[in-house]
Structure 1
Amino acid sequence: MKTLRLLLGDQLTRSIASLTDLDPDHDVVLMVEVWEEATYVRHHKQKIAFLFSAMRHFAEALRAEGISVDYVRLDDAENAGSFGAELARAVARHAPDRVVVTEPGEWRVLQMMRDWREELGPPVEIRDDNRFLATKAEFAAWAGAKKQLRMEFFYREMRRKTGFLMEGGEPVGGQWNFDAENRKALPKSLRVPPRRRFEPDAITREVLALVARRFGNHFGDLEPFGWAVTRADALEALRVFVDEALPTFGDYQDAMKTGEPFLFHAVLSPYLNAGLLTAEEVCRAAEREWREGRAPLNAVEGFVRQIIGWREYVRGLYWLKMPAYADTNALSATRPLPDFYWTGETEMNCLAQCVSDTRRHAYAHHIQRLMVLGNFALIAGLSPSQVEEWYLVVFADAYEWVELPNVHGMILYADGGVLASKPYAASGAYIDRMSDYCAACAYDPKVKEGARACPFNYLYWNFLMENEGRLAGNPRMGMPLRTLSKMSDARRAAIREDSARFLAGLRSSYA
């Protein structure tokens, strides 16, 4: 039997389900660079370059095994521009008895795959993605009829299932979660290790030239480009992280510093989400560092929680709740996305720094994404669909299965509490405590009213006033809402006036 095996650009894992029973003597692996996928949103230039280069390198690795690879480049004159059209052309070329694919990470692509079953001659087999530690069915069974889904309890089940950081059925260290130990401000004298970046080879240089020609009007800087694009280099990036950054990651994972976009973070998410690394192997590498005494438990547990807890949780929730999930807007937020999310041109230094980091690297760490970029979007009442599109565009690790729940549920609370237990809103004091951004800002986080006040301060309380009725039943919002209830009418009026003035001054190119 001759099988055509379509491999998507974020499925660059040799052990992926669609390749497990591959017969090199008869089967063909199809890989395609298509315009439709590169432009359904205007992805950051580095994300496109990373994926195309990683795909080309992966194809070469398969060929080195003696596997037949049909690879269609973006600039191939015959490229039809979409998955479906290219698959149809490949079926005509190879006349396979069947087509095998691994389920995609996005709902819209799954709908395409289901349509192929009707449109193509040979049968199309869609296999479960075996790279995740929890199947969609397992997550749905865990969710069951629960009134509330909380990551912490799912995470504990994943610890029990995988055995990571477990001893005799109990969590090592006597507790499941060490997050309370992971919120230290960054000392000025602490050395930040340089992050391993990779010099582009000839294949990557060819891709960079292609992206410069074809996607020059997309967001972000194309160079300097330093992403790993092979499995070997991704493994090297993992090694450098666990050796040099993991021991300090736990203490300072919530910290932010001007000119240090990576700090002690792993910066492995692009490789995980594209398939160059697997969740199991990165967690195993981190756990080994603790068991052999080279990294503290709070660091390793915090890292493992992000992978087998949060990453698996948002993926499960995405497939459980889609497609209706994306259309919810629990806080009725409608304000257009401000232009400074694209340009970085704002007097709020924290936002300017985070947008600048994102433009240069197609990356910002999770606190920058949640508590600066996301916090502003939440308390300013920005449109969920526009914010979600921005997050999908600008980050090298962004795919809808991971981006949408994080932004829609965690950042914007647009799902009304399905994913997160409360809105993650904060005033300027949090950013001042966890970063050095405020020292160089035109606004003062210690000033609460007037032209010099940090906009996060009055927008935070304005957000609570606008959503007081919606949030009144949330027990985790009890304390700030009680404080709000004691505010004088004059103080409330000042907050509304400052907020209205500031928000009216935002410029947006959105219609």
Structure 2
Amino acid sequence: MVTPRLVLVLGDQLTPSLSALAAADKDRDVVVMAEVASETGYVAHHPKKIALVLAAMRKFAAQLRDEGWHVAYSRLDDPDNAGSIPAELLRRASEHKAQRVMATTPGEWRLIHALEDMPLPVEFQSDDRFLIRPRAFADWAKGRRELRMEWFYREMRRKTGLLMEGDAPAGDQWNFDTENRKPLRDRASAPMMPQFEPDPLVEEVLELVEARFGDHFGRLRPFGFATDRAQALEVLDDFIAHRLAYFGDYQDAMVTGKPLLWHSLLSPALNLGLLTPFEICQRAEQAYRDGQAPLNAVEGFIRQIIGWREFVRGIYFLQGPEYTRHNALHHDRSLPPLFWGADTRMKCLAEVVSQTEEQAYAHHIQRLMITGNFALLAGLAPAEVHDWYLSVYADAFEWVEAPNTIGMSQFADGGIVASKPYVSSGNYISKMSDYCTGCAYDVKVKSGENACPFNLLYWHFLERHRARFAKNRRMAMIYRGWDKRAPEDRERILQDAEQWLCRLEAGETV
């Protein structure tokens, strides 16, 4: 008698064509899916994130059963649940007399190592849902002095053929980013995005999450995320039809009380595996070919997926499991309570944190130039910032979150991802948002108690890291301008910044 193999399917691998499933025998093997405490609790995940993953897992398991698979599914509240992925695999192996496991390589080193340490042999299948595999990315990176996304992105355009006219890029230009930085002034009423009323399965999950994770940061209800492929396709259809055309122009814009604007909100479904990157990009490209969306919008959207998303995954696996511990700038200030919803006088941070608490979502500029910019300027410990982003966003899995945080946002990797730190004064925030209107601080004031903290901290950051950045070709002019200021003005700004940081550390409302 041939013994069955266990086929592991993780919560972010909800794709019928998953490599482990493709290599399995439906008539012989047993699919193992498990909701476990070690995954719901390794950081304090937002309740919406936990509910999204569990609901999507349960629906995917039901789909596999309908397709004829034997699925051994463990619910979080199952009294026999062993509490971790390896322990559940060992339990199921004993139950089904299985001696081997097949798994698509997980997207986190933590899980890869946990599976490698099992007494049961695991056969890893490459995750071919991505457009480039880690080994191929390592080949691309080998011998390069700098790893820059733009050069990688052009290779991916050539490889996929997306937005190409023969050997040339559509529009004779690879990147239209300069056209995609318009502040939102005249189109404040973006169309509504599809929301999905919880069905009985989702409602059951919500009740479980309320009971077990009600003390986590974040509001569980209302809950409207897509939790299966049909719903995810509806979100994709809606984005292509109603928001893609303006996505490019306003992808960097930020508006009080309007968290979604023309963004797609496809990343949760994409990162769970309910959608695949190439099908999304093909749909966007077709919209351009059909005249439904301009090139700057479509190129900017596709670049985020085949450029940035694939690039940061390559960086994550290239750098290895120690990457999240990088702290090149030696920042060690603890994450202040305002990141968990405590009062703050800074309207921009209050807005983004409140939105995050409500939605488990903020778009890339809110993450990079509000919360990330502040964390970097204030010298917050990158490991704590990393854990926060991993906790609070529904689309955050370590392979994608860590390079965005440790690398791009916090420059903690010393420049592996970014050629310069992404820092700005309050002027950028004022230009790209309406957050400065009605703020307790004045974005036009450069020093004193009423000065925007971003103005004070920007120069404080540059001064304390002068030795590292003064010769950076993209920052040298900034330092020259700073040095031309009167010495007493510079000293006043630095002293004000120090005093503000002292109040932050003392737990005062800032």
Q: Deviation digits for residues 132-166 of structure 1, max 9, x if unmatched?
A: 00010110000001111000000000000000001
- The aligned counterpart of 2:428 is 430
Do 1:344 and 1:351's aligned partners in 2 also have CA atoms closer than 8 Å?
no
Aligned partner (choices 188, 203, 219) of residue 217 of structure 2: 219
- The reply to whether residue 39 of structure 1 matches residue 41 of structure 2 is yes
- The reply to whether residue 386 of structure 1 matches residue 384 of structure 2 is yes
| Aligned residue pair count | 505
- The aligned counterpart of 1:307 is 305
Do 1:105 and 1:400's aligned partners in 2 also have CA atoms closer than 8 Å?
yes
Q: 1:78 is matched by which residue type in structure 2?
A: D
Show structure 1 runs of 4+ deviating over 4 A: none
- The aligned counterpart of 1:399 is 397
3-state SS of paired residue (1:426): coil
Aligned partner (choices 456, 463, 468) of residue 454 of structure 2: 456
Q: C-alpha distance in 2, partners of 1:6/1:323? A: 22
Q: C-alpha distance in 1, partners of 2:261/2:343? A: 24
- The aligned counterpart of 2:411 is 413
Q: C-alpha distance in 1, partners of 2:395/2:87? A: 26
Q: 1:138 is matched by which residue type in structure 2?
A: A
Q: 1:361 Cα shift?
A: 0.5
Q: C-alpha distance in 2, partners of 1:461/1:46? A: 37
- The aligned counterpart of 2:259 is 261
Q: 1:458 Cα shift?
A: 1.0
- The reply to whether residue 63 of structure 1 matches residue 61 of structure 2 is no
My pick for the range that moved more, 488-497 or 204-213, is: 488-497
Q: Deviation digits for residues 270-305 of structure 1, max 9, x if unmatched?
A: 111110010001001100100000000000000000
Q: C-alpha distance in 1, partners of 2:306/2:433? A: 28
- The aligned counterpart of 1:334 is 332
3-state SS of paired residue (1:126): strand
3-state SS of paired residue (2:451): coil
- The aligned counterpart of 1:104 is 106
Q: 1:217 Cα shift?
A: 1.2
Q: 2:103 is matched by which residue type in structure 1?
A: V
Q: 1:97 Cα shift?
A: 4.5
TM-score by length of 2: 0.98
Q: Deviation digits for residues 401-440 of structure 1, max 9, x if unmatched?
A: 1111101110111111110011011000100111111102
3-state SS of paired residue (1:125): strand
Aligned partner (choices 34, 47, 50) of residue 48 of structure 1: 50
My pick for the range that moved more, 94-103 or 172-181, is: 94-103
Q: C-alpha distance in 2, partners of 1:188/1:344? A: 32
Q: C-alpha distance in 1, partners of 2:243/2:343? A: 32
- The reply to whether residue 153 of structure 1 matches residue 151 of structure 2 is yes
Listed as ranges, the gaps of 5+ residues in structure 1 are: none
- The reply to whether residue 138 of structure 1 matches residue 136 of structure 2 is yes
Aligned partner (choices 188, 198, 203) of residue 200 of structure 1: 198
Q: C-alpha distance in 1, partners of 2:201/2:440? A: 45
Q: 1:399 Cα shift?
A: 0.8
Q: 1:498 Cα shift?
A: 1.1
Q: 1:324 Cα shift?
A: 2.8
My pick for the range that moved more, 317-326 or 27-36, is: 317-326
Q: 2:107 is matched by which residue type in structure 1?
A: G
**Structure 1 pair 495–153 and aligned structure 2 pair: CA distance change class (3 A):** same
Q: C-alpha distance in 1, partners of 2:186/2:155? A: 39
Q: C-alpha distance in 2, partners of 1:377/1:151? A: 23
Do 2:54 and 2:205's aligned partners in 1 also have CA atoms closer than 8 Å?
yes
Aligned partner (choices 501, 504, 509) of residue 503 of structure 1: 501
- Identity fraction in percent: 56
Do 1:338 and 1:508's aligned partners in 2 also have CA atoms closer than 8 Å?
no
Q: Deviation digits for residues 434-466 of structure 1, max 9, x if unmatched?
A: 111110200111111111110000110111001
Aligned partner (choices 102, 105, 114) of residue 116 of structure 2: 114
- The aligned counterpart of 2:294 is 296
- The reply to whether residue 24 of structure 1 matches residue 26 of structure 2 is yes
Do 1:212 and 1:222's aligned partners in 2 also have CA atoms closer than 8 Å?
yes
Q: 2:369 is matched by which residue type in structure 1?
A: M
Listed as ranges, the gaps of 5+ residues in structure 2 are: none
Q: 1:323 Cα shift?
A: 2.1
Q: C-alpha distance in 2, partners of 1:103/1:460? A: 41
**Structure 1 pair 189–233 and aligned structure 2 pair: CA distance change class (3 A):** closer
TM-score by length of 1: 0.97
Q: 1:113 Cα shift?
A: 1.4
3-state SS of paired residue (2:117): helix
Aligned partner (choices 118, 122, 125) of residue 124 of structure 1: 122
Do 1:348 and 1:442's aligned partners in 2 also have CA atoms closer than 8 Å?
yes
Q: C-alpha distance in 1, partners of 2:54/2:236? A: 21
Q: C-alpha distance in 1, partners of 2:128/2:210? A: 35
My pick for the range that moved more, 75-84 or 319-328, is: 319-328
Aligned partner (choices 8, 13, 16) of residue 11 of structure 1: 13
Q: C-alpha distance in 2, partners of 1:57/1:391? A: 26
- The aligned counterpart of 2:480 is 482
Do 1:336 and 1:508's aligned partners in 2 also have CA atoms closer than 8 Å?
no
3-state SS of paired residue (1:385): helix
Q: 1:87 is matched by which residue type in structure 2?
A: L
Q: 1:154 is matched by which residue type in structure 2?
A: F
Q: C-alpha distance in 2, partners of 1:146/1:444? A: 44
